[in-house]
Amino acid sequence: MQDSSVVIVGGASGLGLATAQLMLERGARQVGLIGRNQQRLGDAAAELRAGGHDVAVAAADISTAASAHAAFDTLAAGFGRVHAMVNCAAIFPRRPLLEISDDDWDLENAINIKGTYHMMVAAVRHMRQFVDAPAVTGRIVNVTSVDAFKAHPQNAHYAATKAAVVSLTKSFAQECAADQILVNSVAPAGFATDRAKSLGFLPEVAKANPLGRAAEPSEIAEWIVMLASSRNTYATGENVVVSGGYIYV
Q: Catalytic positions, please?
A: 158
Q: Convert the chain into a string of H (helix), E (strand) and C (coil).
A: CCCCEEEEECCCCHHHHHHHHHHHHCCCCEEEEEECCHHHHHHHHHHHHCCCCEEEEEECCCCCHHHHHHHHHHHHHHHCCCCEEEECCCCCCCCCHHHCCHHHHHHHHHHHHHHHHHHHHHHHHHHHHHCECCECCEEEEEECCHHHCCCCCCCHHHHHHHHHHHHHHHHHHHHHHHHCEEEEEEEECCECCHHHHHHCCHHHHHHHCCCCCCECHHHHHHHHHHHHCCCCCCCCCCEEEECCCCCCC
